[in-house]
Amino acid sequence: MKATLNIQRGALGETPRVETFDVAFEHGQSVLDGLRAVRRGVDPSLAFRFACINANACKECMMLIDGKVDYACTVRLKEGTTTLAPLPKKALIRDLVTEIAPPDERLWR
Amino acid sequence: MTASGSGATHLETDVLVIGAGGAGMYAALEAARNGASVILADRSLIGRGGATVMAQMTVAAALGEQTPDHWEHHFADTLNAGRGLCDERLAALLCEDGPHRLREMDAWKVGWAREDGHIKQAQAPGHDRPRCAYVDFLSTGPAVSKTLRTQLNSADGIRRIGDLVIVDIALDDGEACGATALHLPTGQAVTIAAKAVIIATGGLTGLYCRNSASSNMGGDGYALALRAGAELIDMEFVQFFPIGHLAPRLVGMDPIMWDPFRYKLGGKLLNSEMREFEEDYATRDKRSDGTYVLTRDLATYAITKEVEAGRGSPAGGAYLSFQHVPEAEIRAAFGPVVDRLKENGIDLAKGPVEVAPIAHYHMGGIRVDDLMQTGVPGLFACGEAVGGANGANRLSGNAITEAFVFGARAGREAAQRAKAATAMWTADAARPTLDLLQSASKRDAPNPAATVVKLQAVMADDVGPFRTDAKLRKAIASIAQLKADIGDTPLSSAAAFDPVLVDWLDLRNMLQVAQSVAVPALARTESRGAHQRDDHLGLDEAWRVNQIVKLSDVGVDLRKVEPTSGKAVA
């Protein structure tokens, strides 16, 4: 069984491209599990935010999952294709990482 | 903000606090309250990463709200749990100042659970009476983090900077004078001049594949301290939380959430024969302290031994059952959490879950005096990053308390130093680290994300709760091999938000820290608290000593010292 992730990639100022990754699918896994599997097994340069892994405590892994804003740590991975993109209303940094910190918690304000 | 000659952004402050968990936020608030300008830096978002936000549990202090209490009773329990190795000054400070800090948090509206008009205090294992405050429902850590973030928002003189990875402490003539950092969104180097530096980066549970803290807690503060010339203490004592969630897969919840369930509802630990086994170990085993509710080290032992005897649950742990508790009672105690569990396919009234030991907390850490000063002038530490207060085993509820108490003290003392000190920053202090970052290259090398996983497996398999000479030697060799694999030159893949470079910098720290755990674990030929040797059962009175780790030209230096007695002035 496999899950396919179509991921929008690229840094600010680059033309966005979509890359496709297949990861082994196990029932119960989260989308974040799938992203971490991509980094471990295929492409470690894939950028996404997370700190707490799956407790939904840090609130950092918010992204666009199949067109809907949600947390990668709580949405279950599914068999078949899942489309991932950065948050549309936040400034893009790279890949799935956007500028989500409040302005007064940034180096450049 | 100015650009230095190297092109790096340069910042200046009185006090630099590294890490924005409970301890770091408290330190920043207290330093500012004492008149210092503060930069509070975190590699993640401010007040979102680390361990505090993950804590769903309890905070111990002798408030005397539930039942009469005195801090000396809490102190006695802390020393007892520490199995003879506590730094008594630090433990006394934790217990004596704890109630003040919990009341301060209460005034800041953290929302401690109340009953009949008083703060409700629960009884946790190892405590002689109900002493543990909490926030319903399973919200202690998030509530603590939110409360401190709110205080930071309205405090004067604190600049918060997230997405900033501190790479090294900057030194001038052996004294801390700031730090060099990597700004993740741009990939640029940042230098920070500071008259005092506080390490508040938490513990090292990220070294283990199954752990209960945030993924970014891989012991980086210990490595920062070591490279700056400071000493570490009690590094062999890693606490495993006995009933970490194992199966079925649970998303969106903290894996150590079952403890509050047990405090409130009981909850039976069962083996594959559906038989309760805790009492077997409480009454028969020579490692037992004779009490029914096992302390964490004994419960970890009991579950591991049941699994070894072939009586484990299907996923390799024990069953935890609440089926004897009426459904309405479960609902009353945990409200909305019950629905979140149902979304995960778990119905506590109908079936058990599976639990197993999980890396939870590190008793060891940076060696400090009772003013939270390391041996390096200008360098302080606080929170879980500090070693010594909890000896060989931490009492439940002491971690958040120490974050508050040690954070406040480190903040105050760092501010005092900053007032007295003159700026010592020189561009040379940052040079070695700027050169290191500059040398980062895109090259064929092992996938660093996979290397992190390999290291976590080495630590779990060979430096876990039950150790042997052979396993520890194997681990030390594996760590050396992984070190050789990643090389001395940083790996990079992109400019902005480069996880490859972050993994490489993390591995540089994690491998140093892993070695600093395995080497003293190999030397300690006895079983005490969280350090259990299958080849050296039982306490050995000759080992009632702390081991000190320091960096040397050839690796790590080990020496033994008598545990520190006496009392700090709170």
Helices and strands (H and E) in chain B: how many: 15, 22
Q: What confidence tens digit (pLDDT) does each residue in B146-173 have?
A: 999 999 999 999 999 999 999 999 999 9
How much is the pLDDT for B3?
44
B296 is catalytic: yes
Residue B141 DSSP one-character state? H
Say if CB B394 and CB B12 are below 8 A apart: no
Chain-chain contact of B497 with A47 (C-beta, under 8 angstroms): yes
The residue of chain A with its CA nearest to that of B494 is: A45
Residue B298 has pLDDT above 60, yes or no: yes
Best of A58, A59, A76, A106 to mutate (most B CBs within 10 Å, chain B): A58
Across the interface, of B45, B161, B453, the residue whose CB is closest to A40 is B453
Say if CB B566 and CB B241 are below 8 A apart: no
The residue of chain B with its CA nearest to that of A43 is: B447
Chain-chain contact of B45 with A105 (C-beta, under 8 angstroms): yes
Residue B82 has pLDDT above 50, yes or no: yes
CA distance B567 to chain A (A): 37
The token pair at B244 is 């970490």
B503 touches chain A (CB under 8 A): yes
Beta-ladder partners of B546:
B561
User: Which domains are present in chain B?
Assistant: 2-237+363-432 (3.50.50.60), 243-359 (3.90.700.10), 440-561 (1.20.58.100)
Residue B120 has pLDDT above 70, yes or no: yes
How much is the pLDDT for A25?
92
Q: What confidence tens digit (pLDDT) does each residue in A5-46 have?
A: 999 999 999 999 999 999 999 888 999 999 999 999 999 999
Best of B1, B10, B25, B48 to mutate (most A CBs within 10 Å, chain A): B48
CA distance B405 to chain A (A): 23
Say if CB B339 and CB B190 are below 8 A apart: no
Q: What confidence tens digit (pLDDT) does each residue in A54-68 have?
A: 778 888 999 999 999
How much is the pLDDT for A52?
85
**CA gap B319, B285 in Å, rounded:** 21
Q: What is the DSSP string of B221-290?
A: HHHHHHHHT--EE-TT-EEEEEEEEEES---SS-TTTHHHHHHHH--EEE-TTS-B-HHHHHHT-TT--S
Best of A43, A105, A108 to mutate (most B CBs within 10 Å, chain B): A105
Q: What confidence tens digit (pLDDT) does each residue in B45-55 have?
A: 999 888 888 88
Q: What confidence tens digit (pLDDT) does each residue in B242-277 have?
A: 999 999 988 878 888 888 788 778 888 999 999 999
Q: What confidence tens digit (pLDDT) does each residue in B195-241 have?
A: 999 999 999 999 999 888 778 899 999 999 999 999 999 999 999 99
Domain range summary for chain A, segments of one domain joined by +? 2-105
How much is the pLDDT for B260?
76
How much is the pLDDT for B292?
44
Q: Which residues of A touch B453 (CB under 8 A)?
A: 40
Vertex B359: Cα angle to B354 and B362 (nearest 5): 150
Chain-chain contact of A58 with B53 (C-beta, under 8 angstroms): yes
Model's pTM, two decimal places? 0.95
CB-neighbour burial class of residue B289 (10 A; exposed 0-12, middle 13-18, buried 19+): middle
Q: pLDDT band at B5, cuts 50/70/90?
A: very low
Residue B522 has pLDDT above 50, yes or no: yes
The arithmetic mean of pLDDT across residues B403-412, rounded, is 98
Chain-chain contact of B53 with A57 (C-beta, under 8 angstroms): yes
CATH number of A2-105: 3.10.20.30
What's chain B's average pLDDT?
A: 93
Q: Which alpha helices (H) appear in A2-58, and where do they start and end?
A: 31-41
Q: What confidence tens digit (pLDDT) does each residue in B429-457 have?
A: 999 999 999 999 999 889 999 999 999 99
Question: Catalytic one among B33, B131, B160, B296?
Answer: B296
Residue B283 has pLDDT above 70, yes or no: no
Say if CB B278 and CB B242 are below 8 A apart: no
Vertex B171: Cα angle to B165 and B174 (nearest 5): 145
How much is the pLDDT for A81?
97
Which residue, among B517, B248, B557, has the nearest Cα to B363 in the 3D structure?
Answer: B517
Q: pLDDT band at B566, cuts 50/70/90?
A: confident
Query: To the nearest whole percent, how much of chain B has pLDDT over 70?
Result: 96
